């Protein structure tokens, strides 16, 4: 009888756990994770976000406790988002640059508690502060104007930097905002504040639970398609990233995450800046809700998704699963 042997047995390397460990190409560590936190008014408050199972809004004291937890888990950075009290939202979003706003309170409290052990990343965009839920200033027709919005975003970013933010992250998709913010930070005495640009941010249906969490969802009329990108476009993402890098971004972000790993990969091949991805609220919620419905093991599902970000070339991932993942990694 003729015996046929495969020329190569790929399965040889997979046969034992030690060998799989030795041959593993990509590793995920807690240092790859950025943990988004929602801050709300009050003291001793925890409000679970219904559409985001396992995630709560915390008052400043609770956010500080989460920040300390991040440090103990080896998570290097948190991203803070405010649920601005309804009475402080306005057409022009002026609360965004009030030195006394919820964000500034949270930033100062976290930096007081954790110092240089933890980075604080802040979102630059007006949606948590506007009565219409758009990221910028709207004209009579509802169009978000570019240059007047950029002027306000500069004030917002300076306000965050003055409160102690380490990384400002413009998520608004206005043209020219990275350059304007970089210049203002330099002139304003904040040369070491980093800019992580939400460079390729898509007009996505996956942001719903986030808008609930910051209280802008019910307010938003229409969509954000005149500034956020069309999910059909990849070349355009490269153009956006090139602009933000040229304007002075220290790192760039692709958002959402999982459905856009081709964009991460292309960006990694093409640009020599760290590329981050945001596993957004809808992606997180689908894992939690799917696992609860019996689709699969939650921990296995979430770790498989997170390693995919690393494999695609991400320097790190913003994810609501950060503390869970860090614990699963043994932190």
Among 210, 260, 276, 309, binds ligand PBG (CB under 6 A): 210
How near is the Cβ of 309 to ligand PBG at its closest, in Å?
14
Task: Indicate the residue whose CB is closest to ligand PBG.
Answer: 210
- Our CB check for ligand PBG shows the closer of 49 and 307 to be 49
Stretch that binds ligand PBG, among 2-10, 20-28, 204-212, 302-310 (CB under 6 A): 204-212
How near is the Cβ of 321 to ligand PBG at its closest, in Å?
12
Cβ neighbours for 268, distance < 8 A, ≥ 6 positions apart = 275, 312, 313
Among 59, 83, 156, 281, binds ligand PBG (CB under 6 A): 281
CB burial class (10 A; 0-12, 13-18, 19+) of residue 87? exposed
Interface with ligand PBG, residue 135, by CB under 6 A:
yes
Burial 304-322 (b: 16+ CB within 10 A, else e): ebbbbbbebbbbbbbbbbb
Interface with ligand PBG, residue 122, by CB under 6 A:
no
Cβ neighbours for 209, distance < 8 A, ≥ 6 positions apart = 49, 51, 52, 281, 282, 284, 285
CA 17 – CA 123 distance, rounded (Å):
42
Catalytic residue among 111, 255, 305, 310: 255
Q: How many other C-beta atoms are found inside a 10 Å radius of the C-beta of residue 150? A: 21
Structure-token pair, residue 2: 């003729």
Catalytic residue among 111, 141, 179, 201: 201
Interface with ligand PBG, residue 149, by CB under 6 A:
no
How near is the Cβ of 135 to ligand PBG at its closest, in Å?
5
- Our CB check for ligand PBG shows the closer of 54 and 113 to be 54
Is 46 annotated to bind a ligand? Reply is no
Among 125, 165, 195, 324, binds ligand PBG (CB under 6 A): 125
CA 49 – CA 15 distance, rounded (Å):
43
Phi, psi for residue 122 in degrees, rounded to 5: -125, 140
Stretch that binds ligand PBG, among 60-68, 123-131, 181-189, 265-273 (CB under 6 A): 123-131
Interface with ligand PBG, residue 227, by CB under 6 A:
no
CA 241 – CA 105 distance, rounded (Å):
32
How near is the Cβ of 183 to ligand PBG at its closest, in Å?
22
Stretch that binds ligand PBG, among 8-16, 112-120, 203-211, 286-294 (CB under 6 A): 203-211
Q: Which of 93, 160, 102 is nearest to 129 (CA)?
A: 93
What stretch of H or E contains 80? Answer: strand 77-82
Stretch that binds ligand PBG, among 68-76, 119-127, 261-269, 295-303 (CB under 6 A): 119-127
- Our CB check for ligand PBG shows the closer of 182 and 224 to be 224
| Known catalytic residue at 221 | no
DSSP for 290-301 reads HHHTTSS-HHHH
Identify whether the C-beta of residue 157 lies closer than 8 Å to the C-beta of residue 93. Answer: no
Q: How many other C-beta atoms are found inside a 10 Å radius of the C-beta of residue 115? A: 10
- Our CB check for ligand PBG shows the closer of 207 and 276 to be 207
| Known catalytic residue at 201 | yes
Question: Integer distance in angstroms from the first to the last C-alpha of the chain?
Answer: 55
Q: Which spans of this chain sit near ligand PBG (rule: CB under 6 A)?
A: 123, 125, 127, 135, 171, 207, 210-211, 224, 280-281
Binding residues for Mg(2+): 240
Residues assigned a catalytic role: 201, 255
Binding residues: 240
């Amino acid at each position: 009888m003729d015996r046929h042997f495969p020329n190569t047995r790929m399965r040889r390397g997979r046969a034992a756990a030690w060998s799989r460990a030795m041959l593993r190409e990509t590793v995920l560590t807690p240092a790859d994770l950025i943990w988004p936190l929602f801050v709300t008014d009050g003291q001793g408050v925890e409000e679970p976000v219904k559409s985001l199972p396992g995630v709560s809004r915390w008052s400043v004291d609770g956010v500080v406790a989460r920040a300390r937890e991040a440090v103990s888990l080896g998570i290097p950075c948190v991203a803070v988002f405010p649920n601005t009290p309804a009475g402080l939202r306005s057409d022009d979003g002026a609360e965004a640059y009030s030195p006394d706003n919820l964000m500034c309170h949270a930033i100062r409290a976290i930096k007081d508690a954790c110092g240089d052990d933890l980075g604080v990343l802040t979102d630059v965009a007006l949606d948590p502060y506007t009565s219409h839920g758009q990221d910028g200033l709207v004209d009579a027709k509802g169009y978000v104007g570019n240059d007047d919005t950029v002027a306000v975003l500069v004030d917002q970013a300076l306000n965050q930097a003055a409160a102690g933010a380490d990384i400002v992250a413009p998520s608004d998709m206005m043209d020219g905002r990275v350059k304007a913010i970089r210049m203002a930070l330099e002139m304003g005495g904040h040369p070491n504040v980093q800019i992580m640009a939400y460079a390729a941010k898509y007009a996505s249906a996956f942001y719903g639970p986030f808008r609930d969490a910051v209280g802008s969802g019910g307010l938003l009329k229409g969509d954000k398609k005149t500034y956020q990108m069309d999910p059909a476009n990849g070349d355009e993402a490269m153009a956006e990233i090139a602009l933000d890098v040229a304007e002075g971004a220290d790192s760039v972000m692709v958002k959402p995450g999982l459905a856009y790993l081709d964009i991460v990969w292309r960006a990694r091949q093409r640009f020599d800046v760290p590329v981050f991805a945001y596993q957004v609220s809808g992606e997180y919620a689908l894992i939690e809700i799917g696992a609860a419905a019996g689709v699969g093991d939650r921990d296995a599902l979430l770790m498989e998704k997170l390693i995919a970000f690393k494999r695609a070339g991400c320097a790190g991932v913003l994810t609501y699963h950060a503390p869970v993942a860090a614990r699963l990694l043994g932190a």
